[in-house]
């Protein structure tokens, strides 16, 4: 189980590093906000998608690890009986 966790965490770190690089790459040049005016955040559509992936990919990895752990416990219980 430890090997599966380590491998999953390493893959997750690689994906997150790539996503961070893409987030920085798609950074758009914002025009300065006029004085005394509230401006929206300067985030491109690509950056919004990358932010969503920052959240979704770790959730999928956690779900996978929970599934693997459940199967391991199920197999261990069956071996005892």
Q: Where are the domains of the chain?
A: 2-28+42-80
- What average pLDDT does range 13-30 have in this prediction? 87
Tokens of 52: 């969503």
Tokens of 67: 């599934």
pTM listed for this prediction:
0.69
Cα dist. 36→16, 25, 32, 33 in Å?
Answer: 37, 30, 12, 9
Confidence at 54, pLDDT banded by 50, 70, 90: very high
Burial class (CB in 10 A: 0-12, 13-18, 19+), 66: exposed
């Amino acid at each position: 189980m430890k090997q599966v966790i380590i491998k999953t965490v390493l893959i997750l770190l690689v994906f997150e590093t790539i996503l961070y690089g893409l987030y920085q790459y798609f950074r758009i040049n914002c025009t300065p906000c006029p004085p005394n005016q509230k401006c929206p955040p300067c985030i491109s559509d690509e950056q919004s998608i990358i932010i969503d992936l920052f959240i979704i990919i770790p959730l999928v990895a956690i779900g996978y690890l929970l599934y693997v752990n459940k199967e391991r416990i199920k197999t261990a219980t069956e071996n005892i009986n």
